[in-house]
Structure 1
């Protein structure tokens, strides 16, 4: 898989759309976990949200650079 994507003649790294996709997935998952009350049981909700974003982004980008 190429490491750059051409969008309207501009080269951008492949990780940029993956990061945007992971942010969108994290927002949806954050909303669902908030509705289920998971954040009331977590020690540090902001740290949990950050780690969730890192896990989603790593899971999406790891197959790209394997």
Structure 2
């Protein structure tokens, strides 16, 4: 079971840890997709990025639970 981390006197629950960890992963994945040309084929880039962020958060949370 994931534990709470304390950073500067502020406790971060596991969900906040997953949300923060997903940001650099999202940036890396978006950079890779941009280099591969996938983002040129996406109909609504902002919607795609939001959905990708939600998927990354869900995967991190599932990984933390096991």
Same fold (TM over 0.5): yes
Greater relative contact order (CA < 8 Å, ≥ 6 in sequence): 2
Instruction: Report the TM-score when normalising by structure 1.
Output: 0.79
Aligned-pair RMSD on alpha carbons? 1.9
User: Structure 2, unaligned stretches of length 5 or more?
Assistant: none
Which structure is higher in helix share? 2
| Gap runs ≥5 in structure 1 | none
TM-score normalised over the length of structure 2: 0.79
Corresponding residue pairs, total = 66
Take 2:33 and 2:5, find their aligned partners in 1: how far apart are those partners?
33
Q: After TM superposition, which residue ranges in structure 1, 4 or more long, deviate above 3 angstroms?
A: 6-10, 63-66
